Amino acid sequence: MPSTPYALRVHDVHKAYRSRRVLKGVSFRLEPGTLAGVVGENGSGKSTLLRVLCGQIAADAGEVERCGSLGYCPQEAVLNDALTVDQHLRWFRTAYRLQGTGRAEELLEELRFAEYRHTRVEQLSGGTRQKLNLTLALLHDPHVLLLDEPYQGFDWETYVQFWDVAARLRERGRCILVVSHLARDAQRLDVVHRLRDGVTTLWHEEGRPVGARGAVR
């Protein structure tokens, strides 16, 4: 990946659905090796922002630039109930044109659900489905990872494992953006943006910006 001052750059992004303006000029920039968050109330436009960032929908105005490959983990898992975990992994390895297993074996062990590899998705718990959803987003080792409420349905042990995985990705120079309606994980993040009234602002706690390693310009 070529040298760049940012992994993800979002500049003055606008999006409306008919007369309802959801995003009204969202701007931020994240460096490689940053674990960042966007928090906002339900209905504030977080999922719309993620869909714009990953290219699912087009912004009405503004720019989104990223350096390197992209991984996206939506809040609603896009899985086929009739297929097993292994079959999903094979499908996505083909889609990503990966040689070998990619990061599949490593992630199955890190998230501790290798025992379900031959289980159909319809038989998995909500938390295990979300583990598979996250694994598929990480399979090709993306440079920029977008996560929408990624730990929904996780038990406490898996929740902690998720943050361990995120920290290791950051150490390897990956940029991770976690979107949530809760600010409870702010201290785990390098920088937090609050999405409110269609714009993002740097989130502060006790008069100081939360996080020190992220970049906002």
Question: Would you state the pLDDT for residue 34?
Answer: 96
Length of the chain: 217
Smallest CA-to-CA distance from 134 within 155, 168, 110 is with 110
List, for residues 57-114, the tens digit of each pLDDT value.
Answer: 999 999 999 999 999 998 888 899 999 999 999 999 999 999 877 688 899 999 999 9
Rounded Cα distance, 215 and 36, in Å: 9
Smallest CA-to-CA distance from 7 within 191, 194, 205 is with 191
Domains along the chain? 8-209 (3.40.50.300)
Asked if residues 39 and 195 have their Cβ atoms less than 8 Å apart, the reply is yes
Q: Mean pLDDT by 10-residue block, N- to C-terminus, for the chain (217 residues)?
A: 75 95 96 95 91 96 96 89 96 90 86 95 94 94 94 88 94 95 84 94 61 41
**pTM of full prediction above 0.75:** yes
Question: Would you state the pLDDT for residue 5?
Answer: 78
Question: Would you state the pLDDT for residue 60?
Answer: 97
